[in-house]
Amino acid sequence: MVDYDYNKKADILTVDLEDRQPEDYDRSIAIGDYTVDLDEAGSILGIEILNATRNLPYTSKELQSIENADLKQVRRSGARTVIVEIEYSSNKGAFSLGYQDSIEA
């Protein structure tokens, strides 16, 4: 399970693992308006999206009405993809972000 928050005024969407602890954090990878937080093993702890309504195919109203979210990580050939699935106003959607973790490169 995950915790999620959309700040309408700042237009920031944050999705974090529910059991995330401050001591789990090791590093962040910033890719444009996206920031991925990782633990020491390179597993995802959370993602923050600035300018969410410009970077995602969702309106502010849809992001404010998120009812459920899930956060997944897929590893393939040295690259990783973060997948965020959301449910809002009886609809479902997903977005993803691919990145290379320089620690593993």
In a domain, 82, yes or no: yes
Give how many domains the chain has, as a whole number: 1
Range of the domain at 48: 2-100
In a domain, 105, yes or no: no
Query: What confidence score (pLDDT) does residue 87 get?
Result: 96
In a domain, 72, yes or no: yes
In a domain, 22, yes or no: yes
Q: How many residues does the chain have?
A: 105
- Give the Cα separation of 105 and 20 in Å (integer): 25
In a domain, 62, yes or no: yes
Cβ(58)–Cβ(67) under 8 Å? no
| Cα 77 to chain centroid, rounded | 21
In a domain, 57, yes or no: yes
Query: What confidence score (pLDDT) does residue 83 get?
Result: 95
Beta strand 34-38 pairing with 27-31: antiparallel
Query: What confidence score (pLDDT) does residue 102 get?
Result: 64
In a domain, 10, yes or no: yes
Question: pLDDT tens track of the chain, all 105 residues?
Answer: 899 999 999 999 999 998 889 899 999 999 999 999 999 998 999 999 999 999 999 999 999 999 999 999 998 887 899 999 999 988 999 999 998 876 554
